[in-house]
């Protein structure tokens, strides 16, 4: 500790020593004068006796500094000088490492921003997200009911504030049309409790936040707070608009405030522009039938409230969760409802995710895969730099040999060489952080909350760790090799070179192998598109035409239902082939689910089953074969369902399903469905994963299916539909488009683009690395090649001799790469839609690309070799 302090207080302590020594001399002078010496002489004598005072100070000072510290400083200065002498090498090495470290650090910055950072709210550490879990401690269902939230708010003592919000109809905040004067735009909105802003510690820049009486569940108040963005970009940032009404979905809402400048809702995801009191959701969303929001907000079984609390100082999350659990059970038991527990999370997304890991396996796996791929690219960059460092070490043999023979220990020289690698790695790390600091800018282009992505301590720490890893990987082996060779003495130079050659082979092979893994991943993802078109979904998908009918926006659910009924009747009356109806197309990742259990089971046993509303003839039109039983009755009130084999296995593993009953709904209001048939498993939500499906009866829908690909049917249906509603739009397509649609969704297109970008970057790094190595090899063998040429070797022979040097690394690289890829491809399995991870076309294609890249990387140096002039080379030695 005192040593450290000493380093920082160097100058100060140096002064202390000087003062002390001055005092010493002065005392001596006084003694001498008292002893009868003249003052002038006394000074001279004292000074002579003491000797060189600066030297004394330095010597006393040195006591404090550990020698290793001084020598590290020496090493650093030496490394920087030596790197500065070879700017070409330095820039290349730093550049290559910066690409590697920069990519992982950038991704980490994004991961950090999305998953690891708390919400953008004041003192986010004392915020707690309140979610409900089942009594058995199962997966939290998240949302609370509004009456339960209000009960907790009233009775809990653990929180200073307990706020709630709801997003209206869907889980994703809806875009409401907003108008003010002549300006019209869309704003994402959320409905919040009056204490929402106070809970988050967010203020308004103009106006005020909500008052308690504005959260009125009897007569909703139409007031609104708008975001800074909306205020500035659309409403001219005028304070005069406070108290004015904006029109939200044609309804007037009085603007009472503008939220703090950078606040767009606390949650990462969709930025909010418009906040309204919770009960006012009923004003905007009451038009939908069976969805009266005031009733829902009073219904103790209807969950739609997200809840967040601000903990009182000194209260822990565990304590608060225990209190809320007791309160929640009190509340629910008093209403004879199933008692549930309450869990609290901090506001980092990772906390909620790790509690519900199962739900988010897909996205997390994707992030993990990309991260793994980028780590491979970083390793590649390290191997590349390692090669460069080794080549440089070989060309410095004389210098290193001299140092060793002058008595420097091997460890000392290795440390010196490592210091150079460290300087390179740290410089690359700094570049990487700079690159990562551009992430917020990228996110500000159309994404939400760029401030979450500015580099913080976590990003710096990550980049430092990566730089250290890079230093070790790219520096240690070359440093050991270079010095070992010199220990074996220059007399045995040939053996040393052979060793270095082996090491180079290993590094090159590693690069090729890593690029191969990444290229194969990208290749497999691309091949998937062609592959899915050939998949058999289990029904007559290639013979069916799908006709989608779109009503104009703003049509109410009741109008839609009426339209579909009329259409069904008109189509049935017409002389057309059999037409089936559904609300969905046949294969789509988008789906509805029903909570179902066996008759007699506890509601706790409810399972989420994919639900498909279909007409009775759906199975015959699409060619889905029955295993057992019959199709649905053509009557919606029949309360019958057809299930697939997977569902039959799920509910009745032993014994028949037909004739049994499935139940939905709460215990007191059960909803029975009789299973009348079991159909074969066919593709519904995915092409490979056959999930349990329950087909429920509907009379009509907006998706029509007909087993006839001729355009006449479409024309007929179009004219029928237009006769009922002139503004209708009809679009038809072969149902087989579903197959490719599922593999060319934006997510998968994006995944493929990312995979190719990473893989091509890896290939570029490997090619550049191989090029560097071979260029160096040609340089090293200059003399040999010169002699050969002088003896009459043809240019072609020389070229092949050089390219021949790539055989071994290429063979090893492809071999190891193949083995690694076979393993890595397994991880991609769930993204491949049944394409074999060992798809031979991908493997052969990628191998060809790698061979081509290796040839290119060796051919250029080989060409240079043929231009060697033997006369000049031989004279040079």
Q: Which is nearer to another protein, 27 or 574 (CB)?
A: 27
> Of 278, 308, 317, 320, which is closest to residue 199 (Cα–Cα)?
308
- By CB under 8 A, the residues from 469 to 488 that bind another protein are none
Q: Contact between 5 and another protein (CB under 8 A)?
A: no
State which of residues 37, 43, 45, 61 lies at the interface with another protein (CB under 8 A). 61
Burial of 692-706, coded b for 16+ CB within 10 Å and e otherwise, reads bbbbbbbbbbbbbbb
State which of residues 12, 59, 591, 729 lies at the interface with another protein (CB under 8 A). 59
Three-state SS for 356? coil
Q: Which is nearer to another protein, 59 or 186 (CB)?
A: 59
Give the count of alpha carbons within 13 A of 593, CB side only.
13
Alpha-carbon distance 625 to 679, whole Å?
6
Specify the stretch interacting with another protein by CB under 8 A; choose among 17-25, 187-195, 710-718, 759-767: 17-25
Alpha-carbon distance 828 to 371, whole Å?
14
- Rounded least distance, CB 25 to another protein, Å: 8
Q: Which is nearer to another protein, 70 or 219 (CB)?
A: 70
Sort 586 into a burial class: Cβ within 10 Å, 0-12 / 13-18 / 19+. buried
DSSP-assigned states of every residue in 549-576: EEPPTT--HHHHHHHHHHHHHHHHHSS-
- Rounded least distance, CB 78 to another protein, Å: 22
State which of residues 63, 318, 573, 791 lies at the interface with another protein (CB under 8 A). 63
Q: Are 157 and 322 in contact (CB under 8 A)?
A: no
DSSP-assigned states of every residue in 85-124: H-HHHHHHHHHHHHHHHHHHHHHHHHHIIIIISPPSSTTG
- Rounded least distance, CB 7 to another protein, Å: 13
- By CB under 8 A, the residues from 34 to 53 that bind another protein are 49-51
Q: Contact between 604 and another protein (CB under 8 A)?
A: no
Q: Which is nearer to another protein, 62 or 451 (CB)?
A: 62
Specify the stretch interacting with another protein by CB under 8 A; choose among 16-24, 143-151, 241-249, 495-503: 16-24
Q: Which is nearer to another protein, 24 or 864 (CB)?
A: 24
Burial of 277-289, coded b for 16+ CB within 10 Å and e otherwise, reads bbbbbbbbbeeee
State which of residues 7, 9, 15, 27 lies at the interface with another protein (CB under 8 A). 27
Q: Contact between 672 and another protein (CB under 8 A)?
A: no
- Rounded least distance, CB 71 to another protein, Å: 13
State which of residues 4, 55, 84, 573 lies at the interface with another protein (CB under 8 A). 55
Q: Contact between 23 and another protein (CB under 8 A)?
A: yes
- Rounded least distance, CB 23 to another protein, Å: 5
In order of 140, 164, 215, 306, 739, the CA distances from 156 in angstroms are 20, 14, 19, 17, 52
Q: Contact between 62 and another protein (CB under 8 A)?
A: yes
Q: Contact between 19 and another protein (CB under 8 A)?
A: yes
Q: Which is nearer to another protein, 15 or 869 (CB)?
A: 15
Q: Contact between 639 and another protein (CB under 8 A)?
A: no
In order of 142, 818, 839, the CA distances from 522 in angstroms are 37, 14, 12
Residues in contact with another protein, counted by CB under 8 A, come to a total of: 27
- Rounded least distance, CB 51 to another protein, Å: 5
Pairing type for strands 640-644 and 592-598 reads unpaired
State which of residues 5, 7, 15, 26 lies at the interface with another protein (CB under 8 A). 26
Q: Contact between 7 and another protein (CB under 8 A)?
A: no
Element (H, E) at 308: strand 303-311
State which of residues 24, 598, 733, 829 lies at the interface with another protein (CB under 8 A). 24
Q: Which is nearer to another protein, 63 or 573 (CB)?
A: 63
Alpha-carbon distance 47 to 524, whole Å?
84
Alpha-carbon distance 199 to 307, whole Å?
11
H helix count then E strand count, the chain: 30, 23
- Rounded least distance, CB 228 to another protein, Å: 59
Alpha-carbon distance 136 to 843, whole Å?
48
Q: Contact between 1 and another protein (CB under 8 A)?
A: no
In degrees and rounded to multiples of 5, residue 171 shows phi and psi of: -75, -25
State which of residues 15, 30, 671, 715 lies at the interface with another protein (CB under 8 A). 30
Q: Which is nearer to another protein, 36 or 655 (CB)?
A: 36
- Rounded least distance, CB 36 to another protein, Å: 17
Each as own residue / partner, the long-range contacts of residues 80-86 (CB below 8 Å, 24 or more positions apart, any chain) are 80/423, 82/420, 83/420, 83/423, 83/424, 86/392
- Rounded least distance, CB 72 to another protein, Å: 16
Specify the stretch interacting with another protein by CB under 8 A; choose among 21-29, 279-287, 376-384, 796-804: 21-29
Alpha-carbon distance 762 to 770, whole Å?
12
- Rounded least distance, CB 73 to another protein, Å: 17
State which of residues 9, 12, 15, 20 lies at the interface with another protein (CB under 8 A). 20
Q: Contact between 599 and another protein (CB under 8 A)?
A: no
- Rounded least distance, CB 13 to another protein, Å: 10
C-alpha R_g of the chain: 38
Three-state SS for 190? strand
Specify the stretch interacting with another protein by CB under 8 A; choose among 25-33, 568-576, 805-813, 864-872: 25-33
Q: Contact between 9 and another protein (CB under 8 A)?
A: no
- Rounded least distance, CB 77 to another protein, Å: 22
State which of residues 67, 88, 358, 840 lies at the interface with another protein (CB under 8 A). 67
User: What angle (nearest 5°) sits at the alpha carbon of residue 357, between those of residues 356 and 358?
Assistant: 90
Q: Are 477 and 777 in contact (CB under 8 A)?
A: no
Contacts with another protein, residue ranges (CB under 8 A): 2-3, 16-17, 19-21, 23-24, 26-28, 30-31, 49-51, 55-57, 59-64, 67
């Amino acid at each position: 500790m005192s040593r450290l302090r000493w380093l920082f207080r160097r100058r100060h302590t140096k002064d202390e020593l000087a003062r002390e020594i001055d005092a010493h001399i002065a005392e001596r002078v006084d003694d001498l004068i008292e002893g009868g010496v003249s003052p002038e002489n006394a000074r001279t004598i004292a000074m002579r006796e003491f000797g060189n005072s600066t030297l004394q100070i330095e010597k006393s000072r040195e006591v404090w500094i550990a020698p290793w510290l001084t020598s590290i400083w020496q090493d650093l200065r030496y490394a920087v000088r030596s790197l500065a002498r070879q700017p070409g090498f330095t820039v290349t090495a730093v550049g290559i490492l910066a690409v590697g470290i920069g990519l992982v650090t950038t991704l980490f910055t994004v991961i950090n921003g999305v998953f690891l950072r708390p919400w953008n709210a004041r003192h986010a550490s004392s915020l707690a997200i309140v979610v409900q879990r089942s009594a058995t401690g199962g997966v939290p269902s998240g949302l609370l009911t509004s009456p339960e939230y209000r009960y907790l708010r009233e009775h809990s003592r653990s929180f200073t504030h307990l706020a709630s919000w709801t997003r209206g109809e869907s889980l994703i905040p809806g875009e409401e049309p907003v108008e003010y004067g002549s300006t019209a735009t869309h704003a994402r909105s959320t409905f919040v409790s009056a204490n929402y802003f106070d809970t988050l510690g967010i203020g308004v820049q103009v106006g005020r936040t909500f008052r308690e009486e504005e959260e009125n569940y009897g007569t909703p108040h139409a007031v609104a707070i708008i975001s800074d963005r909306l205020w500035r970009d659309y409403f001219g940032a005028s304070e005069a608009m406070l108290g004015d009404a904006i029109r939200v979905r044609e309804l007037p809402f009085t603007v009472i405030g503008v939220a703090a400048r950078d606040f767009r809702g606390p949650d990462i995801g969709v930025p909010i522009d418009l906040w309204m009191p919770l009960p006012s959701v009923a004003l905007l969303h009451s038009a939908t039938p069976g969805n009266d929001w005031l009733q829902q907000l009073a219904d103790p079984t209807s969950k739609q409230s997200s809840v967040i609390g601000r903990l009182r100082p000194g209260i822990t999350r565990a304590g608060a969760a225990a209190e809320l659990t007791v309160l929640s059970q009190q509340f629910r038991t008093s209403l004879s409802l199933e008692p549930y527990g309450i869990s609290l999370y901090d506001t980092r997304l990772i906390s909620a995710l790790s509690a519900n890991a199962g739900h988010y396996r897909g996205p997390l796996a994707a992030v993990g895969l990309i991260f793994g791929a980028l780590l491979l690219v970083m390793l590649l960059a390290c191997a590349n730099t390692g090669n460069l460092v080794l080549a440089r070490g070989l060309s410095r043999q004389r210098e290193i040999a001299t140092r060793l023979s002058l008595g420097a220990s091997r460890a000392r020289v290795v440390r010196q060489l490592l210091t150079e690698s460290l300087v390179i790695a740290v410089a690359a790390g700094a570049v990487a952080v700079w690159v990562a600091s551009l992430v917020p800018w990228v996110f500000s282009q159309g994404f939400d909350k760029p401030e979450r992505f500015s580099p913080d301590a976590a990003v710096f720490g990550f980049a430092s760790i990566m730089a250290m890893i890079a230093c070790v990987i790219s520096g240690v082996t070359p440093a050991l090799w270079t010095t070992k060779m010199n220990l074996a003495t220059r007399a045995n130079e040939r053996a040393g070179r052979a060793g270095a050659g082996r090491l180079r082979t290993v590094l090159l092979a590693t690069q090729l192998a890593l690029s191969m893994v990444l290229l194969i991943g990208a290749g497999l993802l691309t091949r998937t598109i062609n592959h899915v078109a050939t998949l058999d979904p289990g029904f007559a998908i290639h013979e069916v035409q799908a006709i989608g009918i779109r009503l104009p926006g703003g049509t109410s659910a009741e109008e839609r239902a009426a339209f579909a009924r009329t259409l069904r009747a008109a189509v049935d009356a017409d002389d057309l082939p059999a037409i089936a109806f559904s609300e969905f197309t046949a294969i789509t990742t988008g789906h509805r689910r029903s909570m179902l259990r066996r008759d007699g089971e506890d509601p706790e046993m409810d399972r989420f089953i994919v639900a498909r509303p279909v007409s009775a003839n759906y199975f015959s039109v699409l060619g889905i074969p029955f295993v057992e039983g019959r199709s649905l009755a053509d009557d919606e009130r029949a309360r019958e369902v057809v299930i697939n084999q997977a569902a039959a296995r799920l509910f009745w593993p032993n014994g028949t399903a037909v004739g049994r009953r499935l139940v939905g709904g709460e215990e007191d209001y059960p909803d029975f469905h009789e299973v009348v048939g079991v159909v074969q498993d066919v593709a519904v939500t995915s092409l490979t994963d056959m999930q349990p499906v329950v087909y429920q009866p509907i009379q009509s829908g907006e998706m029509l299916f007909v087993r006839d690909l001729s355009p006449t049917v479409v024309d007929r249906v179009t004219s029928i539909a237009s006769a009922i509603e002139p503004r209708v739009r009809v679009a038809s397509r072969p149902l087989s488009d579903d197959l490719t649609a599922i593999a060319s969704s934006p997510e998968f297109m994006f995944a493929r683009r990312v995979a190719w970008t990473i893989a091509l970057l890896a290939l570029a790094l490997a090619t550049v690395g191989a090029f560097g190595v071979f260029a160096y090899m040609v340089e090293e063998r200059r003399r040999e090649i010169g002699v050969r040429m002088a003896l009459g070797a043809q240019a072609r022979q020389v070229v092949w001799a050089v390219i021949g040097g790539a055989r071994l690394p290429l063979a090893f690289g492809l071999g190891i790469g193949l083995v690694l890829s076979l393993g890595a491809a397994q991880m991609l399995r769930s993204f491949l839609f049944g394409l074999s991870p060992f798809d031979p076309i991908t493997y052969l294609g990628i191998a060809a690309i790698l061979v081509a890249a290796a040839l290119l990387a060796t051919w250029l140096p080989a060409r240079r070799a043929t231009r060697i002039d033997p006369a000049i080379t031989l004279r040079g030695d």
